[in-house]
Each structure stands twice: as C-alpha cells, then as structure tokens.
Amino acid sequence: MKITEVRLGKISVPLRVPFKTALRSVSSVEDIIVEVHTDTGAVGYGEAPPTGAITGDTTGAILGALQDHIIKTVVGRDVDDFEDLMQALNSCIVKNTSAKAAMDMALWDLYGQLYRIPVYKLLGGSRKQIITDITISVNDPEEMARDAVDAVRRGYDTLKIKVGAHPELDVARLTAVRQAIGNDTRIRIDANQGWEPKQAVRLLNQMQEKGLDIEFVEQPVKAHDIEGLKYVTERSYVPVLADESVFSPEDALHIMQTRAADLVNIKLMKCSGLYNALKIASAAEVYGVECMIGCMLEAKISVNAAVHLACAKKIITKIDLDGPVLCSEDPILGGAVFDEQRITVSDEPGLGIKGVEKMTYLD
C-alpha cells in the first residue's frame, strides 16, 4: 500500500455554547483535515485543531508544517514499512505536534485497513465502550451551576469544571456547582495554569475543608513550572494531573521520575499522535501512574483516534473526550459513536472514518 497523494481540507463546526477556560474563549471548531490517498484506493483521515494558546500551532503553522515538511516525507512510501514511516514523520520537523498528529492518525488508519483490523485491536485492546466527562466552561458561579445541572440532566456522571480565571472566585464556583448537583456526580477541575503554587495549595485545601470532594486538579500552575507543580502535588490532598506540562514522552517520563504530579494527561495534539502516546502509556504502566486521555476542541476524526487508544490501554483510566459532544453538528462520517457520555468504538478496519461532509479542500 503506497502513499500516492495527500490532500488538505478545512472544516468549521459551531459549538453548542462558547468554550471558556483560563487561557481562551472559542465559539467554533476550525480544524485542518488530512486525507492520505494510496495506490489501493484506501484513504486515511487525520485532523488537527489550531490551539495556539496551548500547542503554539496556528492554522498557518499546521498547513506550513504539512506542506513544507510532512507531506513530502510520506508520499511515495509504503504503509507496510510502518516503523520507518513513523520515525520519518517524527523527525522531519521539530515541534509542530498537531500537524504530526494529524498525519500519524491517518497512517494508523491506513495500517489498520491494510491488515483489516481496527486500531484498538491492533494495539491489543478489547474494551469497546468508554465513558467521558464533559467540560463546564469558566463563568460566574451561578452560570456554572446552571451549566452543571444541564450536564447532569444530559446524563453525565463526571464533570470537568474549568477554573483559574479570576481565581478569587474559584471556591465560590465549586461551592455553587456542588450545591446545585449534589454529591452523586464526580467533579474534577482544570485550572489551565491559572494559579500560583501557594495559591493552588490554599484554594485546594479550602475546597477540601468545604467538603467539595474534588477527584483531581488538572494543571494548577504554569506549564514550565515543574517545581511549582511538585510543590502543589506534595502539599495538597487533591491529586494533581499534569496536562500542559506534558507534551512529549520525555516530559511524561520526567514528571513520573520526579513525582511532580500524580497523574498524566495524554493528548494526541501535544505528543504528535498515537506513536508517541503509546510511549507515554508504556512509561505510565512502568511507573504505575494512571493517565487521562484528553482532547482539544476537536471534531470526531482526531477524537476518534484517541478513543481507539483509550479502548486499547487500561492505564488510561480517565476519559476527557468531549470535543464531539460540545459541537452543534457532526460533519464526520463513520468512526466511534458519541452518545453523550457513552462512546462506542467502531469495529471497522483502521480508525473507521468514512468521509467528511462540508469540507473545503485547500488544494
């Protein structure tokens, strides 16, 4: 199966409501789509969201990395030569993790199609269904409480509450949410780097004292501040999950070796795709560190690839793959079925994506 051509496209999908975190506010998903064609007629699909505030990858940067480096690296190569292909992809340009992730998943899609096996089974998995949390954007406490009640009515048993913007409001936000939804729903929180280390410890302890029952806190401090992250991890009874601090397998290993966090968040867009995500999962297995799998604001192609990984790896115990359910429509044909919190993986060969509606080709 030889790669003959790569076509690029763009999709625009409105969100149900604007997505707000300590870092940004967004009202639609505007993603780049990668379509990898082969001499057998098989097509592999990939997707990359521009998430400049987190990855540094803008739309222009994703397109430039694909057009100037990645596409010329893969065209003409054989999909069956998979390890060589993965190494070439990962060494053809530094950083640019989202562009590499889009190509990585398209190649896994093709490799699975070549051997007629769904990717999650190729990776040894047997789990067919996973349960995701849903994100509640950061707003004033009353609005967040209303959004939380809506999410519980939609059937979600785990909420991921965004905090860290105007931190002086965070305890009131959590208190309002907990009072509104009661004690049967799990709450995890994400500060998106919005706290200082001592402030984080103080806020988390206040939340504990108020009995708000926080499952874990995601990225309390700045991404580069590993010492600060470790400071919070050592002093808070709320477990700490590293997100923006962990891009590469090397980052993950360093966090695990120094015990700077209790948990690690794998996102394909940070680690350049499944090839490196598997390395993080393996390191986590060795260190006994449970992982979450997360996504950016992504439509179904790239989140579907993350679903296959989650269904394959038991060390991934926490699922934060709510990109598709935050969208008001679904232009992607095939792949996993997203029914609110319940995600069911597809048993089609590869990643099971059949096509994209309303895509604008860029070539």
Active site residues: 162, 267
User: What would the x/- binding string for Mg ion be over residues 6 to 45, using CB under 5 A?
Assistant: ----------------------------------------
In the complex, residue closest to Mg ion by CB: 243
Stretch that binds Mg ion, among 11-19, 28-36, 205-213, 240-248 (CB under 5 A): 240-248
Q: Least distance from C-beta 294 to Mg ion, angstroms?
A: 6
Q: Least distance from C-beta 204 to Mg ion, angstroms?
A: 16
Could you give the angle at which helices 170-181 and 141-153 cross, rounded to 10 degrees? 30
Q: What is residue 359's DSSP assignment?
A: P
Both tokens of 281, joined, read: 């999962």
Cβ-based nearer residue to Mg ion, 35 or 133:
133
Cβ-based nearer residue to Mg ion, 190 or 251:
190
Q: Least distance from C-beta 211 to Mg ion, angstroms?
A: 24
47 binds Mg ion (CB under 5 A): no
Number of chain positions touching Mg ion (CB under 5 A): 3
Residue 127 corresponds to which amino acid?
R
CB atoms within 10 A of CB 236: 22
Residues 174-213 interacting with Mg ion (rule: CB under 5 A): 190
Stretch that binds Mg ion, among 112-120, 147-155, 237-245, 280-288 (CB under 5 A): 237-245
Tell me the C-alpha distance between 144 and 140, whole Å: 6
Residues 287-316 interacting with Mg ion (rule: CB under 5 A): none
Residue spans of alpha helices (H) in 169-299: 170-181, 197-209, 226-235, 249-258, 268-271, 274-287
For the chain, how big is the Rg over CA atoms in Å?
Answer: 20
Sheet holding 337-339, edge to edge: 129-131, 342-344, 337-339
109 binds Mg ion (CB under 5 A): no
Tell me the C-alpha distance between 236 and 231, whole Å: 9
Cβ-based nearer residue to Mg ion, 243 or 348:
243
Tell me the C-alpha distance between 311 and 126, whole Å: 7
Stretch that binds Mg ion, among 47-55, 117-125, 204-212, 243-251 (CB under 5 A): 243-251
CB atoms within 10 A of CB 321: 27
Cβ-based nearer residue to Mg ion, 34 or 256:
256
243 binds Mg ion (CB under 5 A): yes
Cβ-based nearer residue to Mg ion, 170 or 190:
190
Cβ-based nearer residue to Mg ion, 78 or 215:
215
User: What would the x/- binding string for Mg ion be over residues 212 to 231, using CB under 5 A?
Assistant: ------x-------------
CB atoms within 10 A of CB 277: 27
DSSP symbols for 50-107: --TTTT---HHHHHHHIIIIIHHHHTT-BTTSHHHHHHHHHHSSSS-HHHHHHHHHHH
Residue 114 corresponds to which amino acid?
L
Residue 192 vs residues 56, 171, 221, 247, 288: alpha-carbon distances, Å: 15, 16, 7, 14, 24
Cβ-based nearer residue to Mg ion, 36 or 269:
269
Q: Least distance from C-beta 217 to Mg ion, angstroms?
A: 10
Whether the CB-CB separation of 106 and 34 falls below 8 Å is answered with yes
Give contact residues for Mg ion (rule: CB under 5 A).
Answer: 190, 218, 243
